[in-house]
Each structure stands twice: as C-alpha cells, then as structure tokens.
Chain A
Amino acid sequence: MTGGNRVRAGGVEAPQVRSSLPPNPLNRPAISSGPERAVWGALAAGVGTLAFGRRHGPLARVALLALGGGLVTLAATGRNPLYDALKLRQNDAGEILVREAVTVGRPPHEVYARWRDLSRLPDFMEMLERIEVLHGTRSRWTVRGPAGPLTFEAELTADEPGQRIAWRTVPGPGVQHHGEVTFRPAPGDRGTEVLARYGYAPPGGPAGAAIARILNHEPGQRTRDDLMRLKRIMELGFIPTAKGQTSGRGVRAGKV
C-alpha cells in the first residue's frame, strides 16, 4: 500500500474490518491534467462516433452511446472523465478496483458452498476457462485473454464458511490480482447478499483498463454479469438466454 490517503478525512487510517483489500480502495476518481483532458475529449468524440457505426451489436451501441454522452458531460470537470464514465476506480497503488453486489434467493451457506467449489467458478465467471484445485489452499487459474489463455496460481487468504472467501495471486509473472467475496443474510427471507470486491493491476496501466472496458473485456464489467449468472444458476438451475434463436438474420449459434 503506497501513496497518501488523500480522501480519508483527517488522514486517519480507519480500520479495515475483515478485508484483505488495501485500505482506502474506494471512490477515488483519477484526476486528469489539462492536456490529458484534451485527449479524453477526443476519445469521447471517437466513442460517440463509434456508437453510430454499423459494426456493433445493439448492446455495444447502447453502451457506447451512454459512454459518449457521459464523456462529453464530464470532459470539463477536471476529473478523469473516462474513469468516471466507465465507473473505474483506482487505489493509491494504481490498482483498478471492482465492487459489485447481488442478492441471491438461496441461504448464505449454499451460495458460499457454490463459490467455494472453485473448480465450478467458470460456470458463471465468463473470463475463467478453468480452475484446478492443487493442494491445500492453492489453485491454478486459466483465464481467457485477448491473446490466448493466461495461467497463474492463486491461494486462498481467507475462508470463513457461510461468510467470506478471499484470495490473491501467488507472486509471479502475469496479472496480479486479489479479491474477496462476502455472503450475508438478506433481510426478510430474501436469501443472501453477495458482495464481490476485486483489485488488479491492469496490463497496459489505467489506459489499458479503459480500453478493455470499452471493448467489454474489463473484469469489473464482467463481474456484474458473473454475479447475475451466479444468481440465475442458484435460483433457476440454468442461465436464461435468447442466443441461437431464429431471426431474419438467419443466425443459429449456441444451440443447447
């Protein structure tokens, strides 16, 4: 954990309750300089133009349109507009932070058990190709990357049945990341509130993360989908889809 804690009032280190994340991870938007702002402005215009291109699917087009609008609005605020618009958050160590939450209509011990079965995480985590459980708390992860699969080892740093799981990559080459997921009962018999928090150092630095996000490859963006897939697997036993159905485009792919 490097750097000052600019945001924390009084500069006092608040205790990080049961968290393996670096302190002060949240809500520090990156600040951009004047020239940098001009670059972001140009990028905003580019993104806006992209949105009207014909090469994108409807999902991408809505996302790009929203993004382009967001960038234009934020261009003069002095904050890094792209990071704001993309909802990217950084800590002082330069790590990108991801936080997503979902309520799953099953009890905490069941949701915990589903997540703790690491080899089945790829069922709902799209970027994961495979996890092999090695020995003790060690596992080997294979992640889909833009340039082919990446493999690294990770170890559990916390395992509290029914409540919390945390992990970090074993130091070595490749992307370093750490994460934790907490499970707590939702009020009124609604199941479990699942909160996932990850931190990672993006390849290519912050700009790399921004570009990845625009291209829909940034892990934070995937996390929302991952959690919804977890919810759907737990509540329904499958993941609803319209992929592969008939249309006037004649496309038939991904039939189950």
Chain B
Amino acid sequence: MKGVVWQGAGRIGVETVPDPELLLPTDALIRVTSTAICGSDLHLMDGVIPSMERGDLLGHEFMGEVIEVGRDVKKLRVGQRVVVPFNIACGLCDPCRRGLFSACDNSNPNHRMAEALYGAVSGGGLFGYSHLYGGYAGGQAQYVRVPFADVGPFVVPDGVKDEQVLFLTDIFPTGYQAAENCGITPGRDVVAVFGAGPVGQFAARSAMMLGAARVIVIDRLPERLEMAARGGADTLNYELEDVLIGLQERTGGRGPDHVIDAVGLEAHGHGPGALADTVKQRARLTFDRITALRWAIQSCAKGGTVSMPGVYGGLVDKMPMGAAFAKGLVFRMGQTHTHRYLDPLMKRIEAGDIDPSFVITHRARLDDAPRLYQTFRDKQDHCIKVVLDPWA
C-alpha cells in the first residue's frame, strides 16, 4: 500500500510499504477513505518530537471502512464506516473508566520511554506520533491497523460526507474540549482564542456553541482571521496591534474571562522572550516556545481559565507565574479525551449546529502529501487544513 513516511527531520515522503495485518485478536483493519494533515504533524516534520524513526508511518486523523476484525472484536463489524480517535485507549483501565481516555494506562507499549523523559507515568498511545507514544503506524495511508477495535472506532451514518465527520478524530473534539474546559457562563463570558489554526477555529466555534457572549481570535494571518470572523468571532491581528492593549480595549479593561492557547510549543510572536525560546529550542535546551501562553496568562481576567489544547512536549521557562498567581487563574490542559465527544459532537453535526468542513482549504491526493506538508507548514497559499484521498 501507499503511506506517508517520516524520512528524517524535515523530510516527508510517500512510499510503498507492506499492507498492515492484524497483530492482536482485538485489532481491526480499516481501508482509509479520508485522512488529514494536522498541525501537530508539523512538530514531527520539524523534528521537535523525540523518538521518531525513519520509515514511521504518519497520520492520526483518518476514517474509513472496516475490512477485517480480529476474533475477539465483539461490536465492530466488517463493512461499517468509522471515524477513529487519534488517541488509543483500552477502555478498561482506571483512567479509561473515568473517561480520561487520553491518559490510558495500557495502550502505550513504550510507557517506559515516556516515563524516562517526563519522570512520571505516561499517557496512552497515539496513531502515527513517535515511539514515545507507542510507535503505532499512522493512517495517512491506504490501510491502517486499529487496536482496541471495540473502544475507539465510532460508526458514522452513511448519509454524511467524510468531510463532515473526519475532524471528529481530533481537531473538533480538541477545540471543543478546550472550550468546555473554560466552564463558560452562557451569555456572560468573553473567551479569547490564541491561534486561528484548525484547533483554534474549532475552539472559537465551540465557545460560541457553549454560549460565550463574545469570542476574540488572535493570529497574524489575515485568511485565518477571516475564517474566524465568518464564524462570528471578533479578531485581533497581533502584527498590527498590541495584543494586551487590544484585548483590554475589547473587554472593557477586564481582560477575557477565559483564554485558550491553541498554539502550543511552536508559537511565533516576537520580542526577546520569543527569540530566546527559539534559540534554546534549536539548541535542544528547551522544547517549547511559549509566546502565546505568556500572552494568554497576562491577558486573562481575574479568576479566569487558561485552557491549553496546544501541545507542549518538555520544559518551559520565563512563565509568568506571578501574574497567574495574582489573578487566581485556573489551568486546564492535556490531550483530548476524544472518545467522550464522538457521540455528542456527531449529534451537533446531525442537528446542523456546525459543519466541520468549513475549515478545509486544500484537498489532494496522498501522493501530494510531501508538498502539502510544506505548504501547510509555511502557511502558503492560505493553507489552513489539508484533506488527503489515499485512493485518488
């Protein structure tokens, strides 16, 4: 089959690799009909996530048709059309039973690698996202092996198009969880979203669905801000105006009641803090540049929430903890417990509350993946979200 392969930092290729097979009786095989490139795939491309190996198959946003199930699979059946959460969960451990699917105790075979890096017990496995997260082959391919077939895959109705449900795999639930974590008081709270990438777009629209009185989206790319504005958000371009003053003005001096950092470890931004972060990241002294997080903390209203769907991988410094403490902020973060949101968000889509395909700017063949990784990373051609067809 064809698949998108990591060939080293900065090098993405499409290669012919052996078809996947069932490895365990609880596995299923999926014929992938649509797959997407995620902002977090760019962290892999850039080589800032450790433990990638040449030849690793990428991709954690995919859906398709079940073509084979192992003998211990009880619910999922051949022929069903499914979306598959990007995180792998066993469904039986204590975190899974509490709904904390991304913190699964059992799904990461390389738990010890994460323990060595973080000095703590690891989270669960992820598709196509380094050996630190289990070394599972990704779904930017024609076929993919899905472990715990009765836990992850979610059957979608035939009537809806791939494009409407594909983002249930990651970015829609991720944006939604970020908004939900804010604990928005409907009709009252103002929410600021840093980063108008795909997750930021879904966070903004989710905050509106949850009743935010006003949503302000901050970015530097006009096309991304326009997309947010089309969804009903107020916008702020940090290259044209001072972020902190701009947010003060837009909130009567209070600051946003909640802030969402939808940027994570590769924040742009300027000033000595950002430069220092970049230098240190290049020198492997720190993993994470945190300009967006600093702005989020500094701008947030007293007693507000800093919600962090953006990915962080290591240590951060120059974090304004004094401001966070003085204002009594609450921090919520972590990988998305995707499994929780599949059913409720599917209902939102069916009810017409949202059509997630609004975020797609590029549709292409799998063979075009290397070029589109570049386009997406360099933010050329107004690229916001790429969907690939493995069979075109």
Interface residues of A (CB under 8 A from B): 57-59, 61-63, 65-66, 103, 105, 190-191, 224-225, 228, 231-232, 235-236, 238-250, 252, 255-256
Contact = CB atoms under 8 A, between A and B. Distances in A.
Nearest to A248: B55
A231 B106 contact: yes
B135 A248 contact: no
A248 B56 contact: yes
Interface in B224-274: none
B54 A238 contact: no
A255 B20 CA distance: 11
Interface string B12-51: 0101011111011110000000000000000000000011
A103 B94 contact: yes
A105 B52 CA distance: 32
Given A58-B113, A242-B134, A242-B135, A247 B56 contact: yes
Nearest to B145: A245
Nearest to B4: A248
Given A238-B24, A242-B137, A58 B106 contact: no
Contacts of A191: 94
A35 B87 CA distance: 49
Given A58-B131, A240-B109, A105 B94 contact: yes
Nearest to B52: A58
B51 A245 contact: no
Contacts of B125: 240, 242
Given A58-B50, A239-B109, A256-B25, 16 more contacts: A58-B51, A58-B131, A65-B50, A66-B116, A228-B111, A238-B24, A242-B125, A245-B136, A245-B137, A246-B17, A246-B137, A249-B53, A249-B54, A249-B55, A252-B18, A255-B23
Nearest to A216: B112
Interface hub of B1, B105, B145 (most chain A Cβ within 10 A): B105
Nearest to A191: B94
Contacts, number: 123
A70 B319 CA distance: 25
Closest 8 CB pairs of A and B: A248-B55, A249-B55, A248-B5, A58-B51, A58-B131, A242-B135, A247-B55, A246-B18
Contacts of B50: 58, 62, 65
A49 to B, nearest CB: 15
Q: Is the interface of B mostly helix, strand, loop or mixed?
A: loop
23 contacts: A58-B53, A59-B51, A62-B50, A63-B113, A191-B94, A224-B112, A228-B112, A231-B106, A235-B92, A236-B90, A240-B90, A241-B23, A242-B125, A242-B135, A242-B136, A244-B21, A245-B145, A246-B1, A246-B18, A246-B21, A247-B5, A248-B3, A248-B55
Interface in B313-361: none
Contacts of A105: 92-94
Contact of A248 (B24, B54, B93): B54
Contacts of B3: 246, 248
B275 interface: no
A250 B371 CA distance: 24
Which of B3, B18, B52, B56 counts the most chain A CB atoms within 10 A?
B18
A248 B17 contact: yes
Contacts of A59: 51, 110, 112-113, 131
Contact of A242 (B7, B109, B132): B109
A56 B202 CA distance: 40
Contact of B21 (A231, A236, A240, A255): A255
Interface size class of B (residues with CB under 8 A): 35 or more
Interface of B: 1, 3, 5-7, 13, 15, 17-21, 23-26, 50-57, 90, 92-94, 105-113, 115-117, 125, 130-132, 134-137, 145, 147-148
Residue from B1, B53, B110, B130 having most chain A Cβ neighbours under 10 A: B53
B90 A248 contact: no
Contacts of A248: 3, 5-7, 13, 15, 17, 54-57
B18 A235 contact: no
Contacts of B107: 240
B28 to A, nearest CB: 13
B106 A240 contact: yes
Nearest to B26: A238
Contacts of A235: 90, 92-93, 105-106
A236 B147 CA distance: 12
Most buried by A among B1, B55, B108, B125: B55
A255 B26 CA distance: 14
Contacts of B117: 62, 66
Contacts of A250: 17-18, 55
A245 B116 contact: no
A239 B90 CA distance: 11
Contacts of B93: 105, 235
A248 to B, nearest CB: 3
Contacts of B145: 245-246
Contacts of A65: 50
Identify which of A191, A225, A248, A250 gathers the most chain B CB atoms within 10 Å of its CB.
A248
A62 B51 contact: yes
Contacts of B57: 246-248
Nearest to B1: A246
A244 B110 CA distance: 14
A47 B142 CA distance: 40
Contacts of A63: 113, 116
Contacts of A239: 109
Contacts of A61: 51
Contacts of B132: 58, 62
B20 A245 contact: yes
A46 to B, nearest CB: 19
